[in-house]
Amino acid sequence: MRTSFLVSSVLAVLAPALAIADSLHVYPRSLADEHPGQLSKVITSNSLCSNGVITDANSTGKFEVVNGIRTYIAYPRGKKSKNAILYLSDIFGVDLINNQLLADSLARAGYLVAVPDLFDGDAVPTDFMGNPTFNLTEWRIRHPPEAIDAIVTSSISALRGEQFGVEKLGATGYCFGGKYVTRFLAPGKGLDAGFTAHPSQVVAEEYQAVTKPLSIAFGALDSITPAQRIATEAIFQTNNLTYQTALYAGAEHGFAVRTDLSIPQKKFAQESAYFQAVRFFDAWVKV
């Protein structure tokens, strides 16, 4: 009772701050803060990316059509696995090589990894990173939650079905994808655990509905405020959720997928977020 009272009091104090935004985790209003960047060799060390130059030739997975959805599949050693990770990308989609390489790295940790094309070929072009002229509002209208939910539902069904035969299924989501990891950690949605990094557009009701283990990597330079982070954790504590959060100094929006590795803080943050995800999945997903 006392814990619930304290958490309710914290939320009451934070209410004015949270009312400023439509969601706990506000997505950038433009692409001005989006940026190209690299993946650490610590993450990609066993891939073909040996010279630090990321190209399409560096990825080791392959594209397959899964339940009618173009999907990048990264297989673990031996191809078969009872453990899988559904990888829900940022707005730059499955064709961003960083997303493919990160999926490959998760596969090397012992997971079958599936990265569905959430946008049916209409991801935000990488040429617009850092360009505030791209109309994100119009783009988001073309990809409403119900459309993304349908793709995620179909992907989960395929992974748990005869084609893949997965017994335990986690999901990882970056930026845009983080919202949908959260949505599918509600009861009966098909996920066993989730990890998100710099999630965007997650509303309080979605966090309230989570019942499965969730780990979140926050960047101190992202648009999410300290009050919003505290409010998120207060929800988890009130609901007695198994959760983990980490805040990385010097880390910007998008750091877990693409960052400037010449800056030690950013390099540390990206590598640590990757190991945060793997350790969490090893604890709550591996059979």
| 25 counts as catalytic | no
Residue with tokens 């617009």: 128
Q: List the catalytic residue out of 25, 143, 198, 253.
A: 253
Q: List the catalytic residue out of 90, 95, 104, 222.
A: 222
- Residues 75/107, Cβ–Cβ less than 8 Å: yes
Token pair listed for 46: 């066993």
| 117 counts as catalytic | no
Residue 102 one-letter amino acid: L
Q: List the catalytic residue out of 95, 143, 175, 192.
A: 175
**Active site (catalytic) residues:** 175, 222, 253
